[in-house]
Chains A and B, each alone.
Chain A
Amino acid sequence: MSEVTMRIWRGDPTGGDFENYTLPANEGEVVLDMVHRIQAGPAPDLACRWNCKAGKCGSCSAEINGMPRLMCMTRMDELPADQPVTVAPMRTFPVIRDLVTDVSFNFEVAKRIPSFAPRPREADGTYRMAQMDVDRGQEFRKCIECFLCQDVCHVIRDHEENKAHYAGPRFLMRAMELESHPLDTRDRRELLRKELGLAMCNITKCCTEVCPEHIKITDNGIIPLKERVVDAAYDPIAWLGRKILRRSRPPVLETETAASPA
């Protein structure tokens, strides 16, 4: 049976280094399986996060051969077999231990985005929304909060000082999700401009490339958000018009092709 070598970063906030573990290779395994086998064998204290093992919870983020990825969705047989597989913790966040980082930055940013505030219900007590209108929001709500996009974004990756002024792609997209929610009534434009650093994103699209949910974070999230915020600054009436237009649209019939809001 063939063998693989896993080169895994071990350490804590005071420092650390890569350590090699050589194991037999089994068919169909993912990187997380290797970590689990190392835990069950030579290194029971090897720290890593995981929950679902199916790419659904966003816990097992790491940098595999230098790429930000989910350990549970990275198959061993797609990585070069002739060299060790390197697994390191996400670099943008402080290390707690081994592959586990302190991602509390993200939970703090989440608190700064004003929450959803819906318009009143229809007379019959329901909310009517057309599938077409919820599609955009649904794309963003596929986010599993793996924070790989946050990890890769150069605005904060090696710039600790920017974290106070920049929400990062996951949360700019969250703002766009609320902005495009057919029921939401709140205005977050000032905040986005002044405090969440929307202008600091220079559209490199690295975030989109690493998103395991294949969300078009930049094209569908950040760029339209920038347009809205910019033209709101110049033309508040246009912004308002768009919100109202979107909100007052009747329960759309299949045949109707209402003008897209953006």
Chain B
Amino acid sequence: MEATPAWRKLPYRRLELYEPEGDLMTLQLGPQHPSTHGVLRIKLHLDGERIVKAVPFPGYLHRAVEKLCEQLTYVQIAPIVDKNDYVAPMTSEQAIILAIEKLLKVEVPRRARWLRSALAELQRVASHLLWLGTMTLDLGGALGGGGSVFVYTMRERELVLDLFEGLTGSRFHYNTHTVGGNRHDVPAGWAKDMHAALDLIEKRIPEYETLTQNNRLFVERMRGIGVLEPELALELGVTGPNLRASGVDHDLRRDAPFHAYDEVATNVITAKAGDCLARTQVRVAEMKESVRLARAFIDGLPEGPLVSGKPIKLPGQFKVNSGQVYAALESARGELGTFLVAGAGTSPYRLKIRPPSYHAISALPYLLPGHTVSDTVAILGSLDPIMGEVDR
């Protein structure tokens, strides 16, 4: 066995080993706090302003989705899981559909796969935009520079939402994927709108870079804060940009391709440092890459049917073989997977959603000790957790 890594020895659970200078103070951050990204409670044990131990308490948004899915038929599930990752509902939906298709061994037409990839990339752009806004909001406060960046990124996010609305009729919670294909085909002129929107976003990304990662104050707040070591990240199952910022070159779009990612090459963006700044840089760079990919997928959208075979209309039409499948895709936050245990009926026997955010916040007890209360919001924000997905 190799030597025990430092983080295994962290006294994050053994408060009694810590010798404070004065009394320890406990601070309950949340569940309703301006920067807990929804409803997360973190119990902080403070020595002055320094965190000695941090215990996160998720579960304030536990909506019992997995139980609900056991009650519903396969067709009914997709619109429900939309609401899990409410910042990127598109990929949330795709993850479940992928698993069902894998279970049923349904072949998805090439056009649908390309369209799905394009939507996933657009969704990634929208999600990272929102993240960048809320991240700076945490750093600069709602009444400050952070607020400005937030409004800018929301403005660009609206462009993407408009595209989705044009395609599916809904700003989010789309329910556009069906088993074996997509429900909504690209309307006329949509590709042109998309190019216009992406051009605008691409033009503005450098502006955000100026406001954030090229801004001295921002960098000072983020550099060296919340360093996530690659080995720890792997053991915890932290995925996505958080993992890549720690220097692990791993991206399911390239390494275990789904949709049409085996046909268009993806550049995987990594950073070495593993701190909050690196996570920011990775996400901003990923936005640019996603813009490129989205263009490529829409430009190369093949002709053909959008749904395989007969469109499935009624829930009862499903004939499900029993089996256990796991299907995963790379959402904006990392590996979003579904482990599906099928029974003989029309609904799943057990459905486990593997949310990247839950794994990300499980790193908090390791990341927070040693930092100050101010860093808490930076670290939490940089991990980009979505509580709907954490708690399900």
Do A and B form a real pair? no
